[in-house]
Amino acid sequence: MAEFHGSFGLLQRTCVLLVAACTIHLSVVIVFYLRSFDVVARIPVPQHELTRTPETSARNSSAPDTPEVDAERNQTLQYCPETPPRLKGPLYVEFSEPVKLDKLMKDTRLSLGGHYRPSECVSQQKVALIIPFRDREMHLKYWLFYMHPILQRQQLDYGVYVIEQDGDETFNRAKLLNVGYVEALKDYDYDCFVFSDVDLIPIDDRNLYKCYDQPRHLSVAMDKFGFKLPYNQYFGGVSSLSKEQYVKINGFPNNYWGWGGEDDDVYNRLSFRGMSISRPDHNIGKCKMIRHMRDKLNQPNPQRFTRISHTRETMEKDGINSLSYSVVSWEKTRLYTKIIVDVGKPPHI
């Protein structure tokens, strides 16, 4: 019996030692695993793996790489989707009756200066809409009436800038666009610029007013031209350029006084810098023009064809780097920021 108890005691001690050894081994494995997991978690992930830039649209370079926190609602906002969910597609646009802006003026989502940010998500781009302007008050009302709802459905972080030429000198559309670019950047950190004539309205809100990897021509099918592109190099009406694209071509020319030629000069600049024009699908890119008589101070520019033929020689010295103007007044309303400027006089020939 004593021999039996001795053997049992030895077996018991052996089991205890075996359990203790297994426990120590398991503890070492768990510690090693947790340390390994922590090391992996601390390895920095390449930024392009965190946020991939869509191939078709230009990503907002100044946007944060993590979602923003809305302090008022105490919630985290994700980036807005590439395809906004509330788009309607084809729209009814009519200019036969006057429009009222009362409802828009009461839209609390618009901040002073015609600035809007979507509340449900973070827009991927900050877009400045630049409108060259003089004596087109009725046209501006139509533009504001139709465009604000469209831009809001497109979930853009945008602001509207009406750049009005002061005085009674010949109109200079391209120079006003340059002024709009400079003045808008003083107001907000925009990275995309849509340059739009005041008399053109898209009739499909799937035509997104934002920037893409290549310069974008947005008004590709105007009713004025039978909803056809007048020629392949046409870049007039409404177009968008990212900040990088704009700087690369030295902005727009300043020396086109009167109607015509400046958009073809810009097309040449883009081509000489190795860029190509992107366009929406023909049906999506349709737009309507408000019919009107040509302005008396915007007659066809007789020098336009000569200037277009010399774009390569002039683009380095004529553009944003040679822009000169003076601001006469700056006004902010609920629907837009109006900047009246003196752009000088055309040179005498």
Q: Per the structure block, which two tokens stand in for 188?
A: 């907000």
126 plus 256 within the same structural domain: yes
109 and 175: one domain?
Answer: yes
Residues 97 and 139 both lie in one domain: yes
**Alpha-carbon Rg for the chain in angstroms:** 30
**Residue for token pair 């005691």:** 9
CA 266 to the chain's CA centroid: 19
Reading the chain (349 residues) residue by residue, the pLDDT tens digits are 444 444 545 556 655 555 565 555 555 444 444 443 333 233 233 333 223 333 356 654 444 445 555 545 556 899 999 999 999 999 999 999 999 999 999 999 999 999 999 999 999 999 999 999 999 999 999 999 999 999 999 999 999 999 999 999 999 999 999 999 999 999 999 999 999 999 999 999 999 999 999 999 999 999 999 999 999 999 999 999 999 999 999 999 999 999 889 999 999 999 999 999 999 999 999 999 998 666 667 787 888 889 999 999 999 999 999 999 999 999 999 999 999 999 999 986 4
pTM exceeds 0.95 = no
**Do 28 and 112 belong together in one domain?**
no
Q: How many domains does the chain have?
A: 2
3-state SS class at 271: helix
Q: Is 103 within the bounds of a domain?
A: yes
Q: Which residues constitute the domain of residue 35?
A: 2-43
Placement of tokens 């831009």 in the chain: 151
Q: Are residues 10 and 83 in the same domain?
A: no
Residues 26 and 84 in one domain: no
List residues with catalytic annotation.
Answer: 197, 199, 259, 262-263, 289, 292, 294
